[in-house]
Chain A
Amino acid sequence: MKRLINQTPAPMLRVLLGLLPFVLLVLLYMFASEARLTENPSDKLLPSFTQIGDAIERMAFEPSKRSGDYLFWEDTLSSLTRLGMGVLIASAIGLALGLFTGALPLVSASASPLLTVVSLIPPLAILPVLFIVFGLGELSKVALIAIGITPFIARDIQRRTQEIPSEQLVKAQTLGANTSQIICRVLLPQLMPRLVDAVRLSLGAGWLFLIAAEAIAATEGLGYRIFLVRRYMAMDVILPYVAWITLLAFVIDALLATLSRRLFPWHHHGGQ
Chain B
Amino acid sequence: MIEARNLWKKFGDKVVLERINLQVQEGEFVTLVGTSGCGKSTFLNMLLGTEPVSSGELLLHGKPVPGEPGPDRGIVFQQYSVFPHMTVLQNVMAARGFARRSLTGALFGSARREAREEALGLLEEVGLSHAQGLYPAELSGGMRQRLAIAQALLGRPGILLLDEPFGALDPGIRADMHDLVLRLWRQYRLTVFMVTHDLKEGFYLGTRLWVFDKTRHDPQAPNAYGATITYDLPVGKIDRDTLSDIDRDLARAVTETA
Contacts and interface: CB of A to CB of B under 8 A. Distances in A.
Interface of A: 165, 167-168, 170-178, 180-181, 184-186, 189-190, 264-267, 269-272
Interface of B: 48, 50, 68-71, 73-75, 77, 79-86, 94-95, 97-99, 101-106, 135-138, 144, 148, 151-152, 154-155, 157
A270 B84 CA distance: 10
Given A180-B103, A184-B104, A264-B85, A175 B95 contact: yes
Q: Secondary structure at chain B's binding surface: helix, strand, loop or mixed?
A: loop
A176 B80 contact: no
Given A174-B71, A174-B155, A269-B137, A185 B80 contact: no
A175 B98 contact: yes
B214 to A, nearest CB: 28
A172 B86 CA distance: 13
A211 B83 CA distance: 42
Nearest to A172: B98
A266 B73 contact: no
| B69, B82, B101, most chain A CB atoms within 10 A | B69
Contacts of A266: 84-86, 135-137
B85 A181 contact: no
B79 A189 contact: no
Contacts of A173: 68-70
Contacts, number: 103
A184 B102 CA distance: 11
B80 A175 contact: no
Given A174-B152, A272-B144, 15 more contacts: A167-B79, A167-B81, A171-B77, A174-B75, A175-B71, A175-B155, A180-B103, A180-B104, A184-B106, A185-B106, A190-B84, A266-B86, A266-B135, A267-B85, A269-B138
B105 A184 contact: yes
A185 B101 CA distance: 14
B105 A177 contact: yes
B168 to A, nearest CB: 11
B161 to A, nearest CB: 8
A175 B138 contact: no
Nearest to A270: B137
B85 A165 contact: no
A4 B155 CA distance: 57
B248 to A, nearest CB: 34
B195 to A, nearest CB: 14
Nearest to B157: A174
Contacts of A165: 80
Main secondary structure of the interface of A (DSSP, over half): helix
Contacts of A272: 79-80, 84, 136-137, 144
B82 to A, nearest CB: 8
B95 to A, nearest CB: 4
A168 to B, nearest CB: 6
Given A176-B99, A269-B138, A270-B137, A171 B85 contact: no
A190 B94 CA distance: 15
Contacts of B80: 165, 167-168, 272
Q: Which 10 A-B pairs have the closest CB atoms?
A: A269-B137, A181-B105, A165-B80, A176-B71, A177-B98, A173-B69, A167-B80, A266-B135, A184-B104, A175-B95
B104 A170 contact: no
Given A175-B95, A177-B98, A184-B104, A170 B50 contact: yes
B151 A175 contact: yes
In the complex, which of the residues B83, B85, B99 has the most CB atoms of chain A within 10 Å of its own CB atom?
B85
B85 A189 contact: yes
Given A186-B83, A272-B137, A167 B77 contact: yes
Contacts of B82: 168, 171
12 contacts: A165-B80, A168-B80, A168-B81, A173-B68, A174-B73, A174-B75, A175-B95, A176-B95, A177-B105, A185-B94, A186-B83, A269-B135
B137 A170 contact: no
Contacts of A172: 83, 94, 98
B70 A168 contact: no
A175 B94 CA distance: 8
A52 to B, nearest CB: 48
A176 B105 CA distance: 10
A74 to B, nearest CB: 42
B105 A170 contact: no
B83 A168 contact: yes
Given A168-B80, A272-B84, A272-B137, A185 B68 contact: no
A190 B155 CA distance: 22
Contacts of B99: 175-176
Nearest to B48: A170
Given A165-B80, A171-B75, A181 B103 contact: yes
Nearest to A192: B85
Contacts of B70: 173-174, 176
